[in-house]
């Protein structure tokens, strides 16, 4: 089985032989809403289904209206649900025809007239194919549904983070489907993706997410340009492109660390240990810098710039096994921002003088 978006209906379910077995109209309301025989969402869906009946030769696929609305009792829509014992297409048709022949609301008048003018065989054909799936869960309950649907695929550790990653993946695939870059998606694609990332959420591990990959926009960069870690780069004469890279690394590393902090309760001690390891490694190299740096002020700054640009490339520090370069560089700039470390051989003296 596979799904397509916005080809015939909002969602098409495609069988292995390539035929459409189910076409779905999806309607979502943030507030409580009652679906009646006069509701616009019903008749606008009926228009789509009537168009589809004209386009397709032969039998219709199963036509589903999936909505967060609750079907009112004693209505046609309440008689078109998924349970055979509750369905009565003949009575539903008679009730819909009463509404279809009313003068009624202008927005649906032409659609209702069109339905009323169809031969009875066509009206019954539509309603026999139609199923109203009312009271569907709103998008706010998506994670709960995913937990049930994916079952054992969802890891015990960080389940919300895992599900957020899965929904983000699906949003990207949906864009590809809507843009025509991908024809369809199968359940196998979903399970293969889940399987490929599930181990990222095993106990103690840290999953790399978009926060570590996405650069800040101009508005987010601007306040960072006045922070102490940028001042430290100014001390060693760093050019603008080096400072821009530092700002981006700082932003991305702390965005990723912020997400981990929100999702993982016991990370603080590991972060402290990670920063301490970086600080210890920096101190060894910093002492060597002070020994080799010449006395000339410009040359000392130049040595500091080389130190700032090279340190961190071969560090042994890891945060729960993660040794991403951007995380390391961004964390180093964070330590420089707190003046725990520095790049200029005389940064401590220059900092005290600046105060």
Question: What value does the mean pLDDT take over residues 322-347?
Answer: 95
Phi, psi of 158 (to 5 degrees): 50, 50
pLDDT tops 90 at residue 299: yes
**How large a percentage of the chain has pLDDT more than 70?**
90
Q: How confident is the model at residue 151 (pLDDT cuts 50, 70, 90)?
A: confident
Q: Which residues of 208-232 are buried (b: 16+ CB within 10 A; e: fewer)?
A: ebebbeeebeeeeeeebeebebbbb
**How large a percentage of the chain has pLDDT more than 90?**
53
Highest mean pLDDT among 138-147, 156-165, 205-214, 302-311: 302-311
C-alpha 20/C-alpha 58 separation (Å) is 13
Q: How confident is the model at residue 346 (pLDDT cuts 50, 70, 90)?
A: very high
Question: What value does the mean pLDDT take over residues 326-349?
Answer: 96
pLDDT tens for 10-60 read 676 767 766 676 667 777 665 678 899 999 999 999 998 999 888 887 788
Q: Which residues pair with 322 in a beta bridge?
A: 319
pLDDT tens for 158-178 read 777 778 778 778 778 877 877
C-alpha 7/C-alpha 23 separation (Å) is 10
Q: What is the pLDDT of residue 294?
A: 93
Q: Looking at 3-7, 61-65, 263-267, which range is the least confident one? A: 3-7
pLDDT tops 80 at residue 190: yes
* Mean pLDDT of the residues in the chain: 87
DSSP one-letter code for 7:
S
- Reading the block at residue 194, the tokens are 């889940």
pLDDT tops 80 at residue 323: yes
Question: What value does the mean pLDDT take over residues 342-349?
Answer: 95
pLDDT tens for 216-249 read 999 999 999 999 999 999 999 999 999 999 999 9
For the sheet containing 11-14, what is the strand order?
A: 130-133, 62-67, 20-27, 11-14, 2-5, 185-186
């Amino acid at each position: 089985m596979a799904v397509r978006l916005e080809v015939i209906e909002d969602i098409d379910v495609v069988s292995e032989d390539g035929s459409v077995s189910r076409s779905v109209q999806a309607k979502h309301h943030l507030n409580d809403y009652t679906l009646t025989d006069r509701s616009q969402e019903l008749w606008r869906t009926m228009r789509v289904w009537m168009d589809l009946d004209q386009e397709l030769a032969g039998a219709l696929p199963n036509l589903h209206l999936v909505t967060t609305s609750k079907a009112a009792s004693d209505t046609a829509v309440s008689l078109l649900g998924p349970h055979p014992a509750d369905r009565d297409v003949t009575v539903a048709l008679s009730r819909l025809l009463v509404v279809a022949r009313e003068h009624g609301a202008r927005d649906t008048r032409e659609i209702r007239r069109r339905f009323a003018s169809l031969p009875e065989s066509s009206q019954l054909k539509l309603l026999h194919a139609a199923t109203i799936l009312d009271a569907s869960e709103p998008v706010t309950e998506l994670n709960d549904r995913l937990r049930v649907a994916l079952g054992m695929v969802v890891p015990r550790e960080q389940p919300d983070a895992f599900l957020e990653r899965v929904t983000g993946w699906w949003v990207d695939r949906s864009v590809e489907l809507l843009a025509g870059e991908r024809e369809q998606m199968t359940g196998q694609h979903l399970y293969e993706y889940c399987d490929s990332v599930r181990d990222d959420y095993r106990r103690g591990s840290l999953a790399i997410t978009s926060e570590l990959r996405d650069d800040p926009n101009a508005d987010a960069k601007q306040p960072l340009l006045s922070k102490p870690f940028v001042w430290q780069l100014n001390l060693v004469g760093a050019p603008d492109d080096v400072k821009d890279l530092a700002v981006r690394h700082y932003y991305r590393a702390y965005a990723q660390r912020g997400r981990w902090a929100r999702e993982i309760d016991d990370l603080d001690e590991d972060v402290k240990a990670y920063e301490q390891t970086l600080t210890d490694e920096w101190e060894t190299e910093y002492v060597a810098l002070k020994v080799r740096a010449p006395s000339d002020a410009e040359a000392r700054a130049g040595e500091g710039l080389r130190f700032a640009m090279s340190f961190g490339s071969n560090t042994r520090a890891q945060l729960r096994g993660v040794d991403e370069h951007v995380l390391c560089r961004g964390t180093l700039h964070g330590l420089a921002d707190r003046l725990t470390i520095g790049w200029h051989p005389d940064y401590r003296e220059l900092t005290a003088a600046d105060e």
